[in-house]
Structures are given as structure tokens and as C-alpha cells.
Amino acid sequence: MKPRVATLISLAVALALGLGQAMPLDASSTSPAVRTVGTMSNVDEQSFAPQADGGLPVEVWLTKGDASIKLQQQPPISFRTGTGSNSRQVSVDESIKYQQMDGVGAAITDSSAWLITHDLTSSQRDALMNSLFSPSVGIGISYMRLPIGGSDFVLSQYTFDDMPAGQTDPDLNFFSIDHDRPYIIPVIRQAMSLNPRLKFLASPWSPPAWMKARPILGGSYLLASNYQTYANYFQIHSGLSGRRHPYSCCNRSK
């Protein structure tokens, strides 16, 4: 997939963040074109202590469907007990707890990192990265998915241990992340510097083709005889990450 086309998809989550029709912020804000993103990342409990009026502050970031507003911070709103004038109400039962939310974010893919690096000037790149990852001047993305090798949005398909047709590498002697060094890793490092509390999910799209029943990346399945080899593949990747930030692996593989 061409990188300019892929960015419309792979960066859309990060740049537009128009996640469904939002609830109006007040009785007068009823335009269905308005989307909202509330970000509460990288704050301590005191930041959300009850205000003098009894409410809890919520940051509001707006993106309009017509793109006239993109990631612009709005005046904060508050949660309060009781009912308000809005026809849509949110009921919270503090006695019921479900799973903890680790963070909110998007994926850094091969295509998006290439575009950030090559299609933007230095000032444009810094502005974009700050708007995405900075907790103070941006939306403070707090969770990032990192493909282990290629994904659906790449300049060309790859893994970290590709071999010529007919050859295998069970000892992973040719494992290499060199593909990611020129432009993917620098983007990740910049994101980490902007948000030191950033968490990561390492996510494989496919094992190396030589590990599969049919030696192709798009389709087929992992051979049972290569289960341990694939586990070792993840272990090497985890070790190379340095584990300086919270890191989890893995959530899918074809």
C-alpha cells in the first residue's frame, strides 16, 4: 500500500480522533458534527479532587467532522451529582468496578512513521508529535501499539527474520530490527521523550513466512513445530526493547 494512501487510515485515529457521535457538552451544544475526546492521562489523584462546586474536572478536546476544528482544547467541564439540563445523563455506580483502563492511543505503523519522518518538516513533525503525545500541550496519548515487523500499513511486507525462499532460521540467527532503525524507532523515541509514562503493546501481524504451513505473510498459519521458535522470536524482541517503558506482548497473529 502506498504510504500516502495508508496514512489516511493509519494516522486517522491519531489525528482526527473522531470516535463516534459525542454527547453534547451542554444544552446548547447539540451539533451531531462535533466529536469529543476526553484525556485524563498522566495526572495524579489530586488533579481530580472535587472542586469547590463539588464537581470533578474533565478535559475536553474537540474535532469536527468537517475538519474545521482539529484537536482543539475546550474549556473544562465537570461531573456533578444529581441531574442536569442535558437530556443525556451518565450514571456512575462507584461500588461497581470492572477492568482497569491502561491507556488510550493508536498504532505507530511503518507507513505512518515513514510519513512523519519524510513528509513533514522538522517543525511540522514536532508540532504533530507534541499534539499527540504531550500531556501538557497535546492530548497525551498514553498507550501505543507497536507492530512486531510489518502490519497492514507498510511500504512493503516484512518481519524481523525474513529468509530467502526455501530457507529457514530456527535458531533466529538472522533476527534483525534494522528495517525499523531509520524512521520507526526515532518516532517511538520522540514519543517516549514527550510522554515518559507512555505504555506499549507489541503486536505481531504475522510470523515469518518460513514458520508457516504455506510460506506467505498474508494468510496460512503457524506450524506447531515452530511454536517455541516463535516464542523465542518474541523474547528477542522484548529484550531489544530495553523494557524502559511498560511493555506487553502480544495480542494477535495470523
Cα 244–Cα 109–Cα 228 angle in degrees, nearest 5: 65
pLDDT, average across residues 118-138: 95
**Higher-confidence position of 12 and 235:** 235
Mean pLDDT of the chain: 77
Give 176's contacts (C-beta < 8 A, 6+ positions apart): 160, 161
Question: Domain extents for the chain?
Answer: 3-79, 105-249
pLDDT at 54: 55
Contact 59, 123 (CB under 8 A): no
In terms of residues, how long is the chain?
254
The pLDDT confidence band at residue 136, using thresholds 50, 70 and 90, is very high
Judged against a pLDDT cut of 60, whether residue 52 lies above it is answered with no
Judged against a pLDDT cut of 80, whether residue 103 lies above it is answered with yes
Give 29's contacts (C-beta < 8 A, 6+ positions apart): none
pLDDT at 154: 94
Span of 24-38, 47-61, 92-106, 223-237 with lowest mean pLDDT: 24-38
Judged against a pLDDT cut of 50, whether residue 128 lies above it is answered with yes
Classified as helix, coil or strand, 209 is helix
CATH number for region 105-249: 3.20.20.80
Measured torsion, CA atoms of residues 114, 116, 118, 120, in degrees rounded to the nearest 10: 160
pLDDT at 247: 55
Residues 189-232: pLDDT tens digits?
999 999 999 999 998 999 999 999 999 998 999 999 999 999 99
Judged against a pLDDT cut of 50, whether residue 188 lies above it is answered with yes
Rounded Cα distance between 50 and 58, Å, is: 11
Judged against a pLDDT cut of 50, whether residue 240 lies above it is answered with yes
Judged against a pLDDT cut of 80, whether residue 6 lies above it is answered with no
Rounded Cα distance between 86 and 29, Å, is: 10
pLDDT at 31: 31
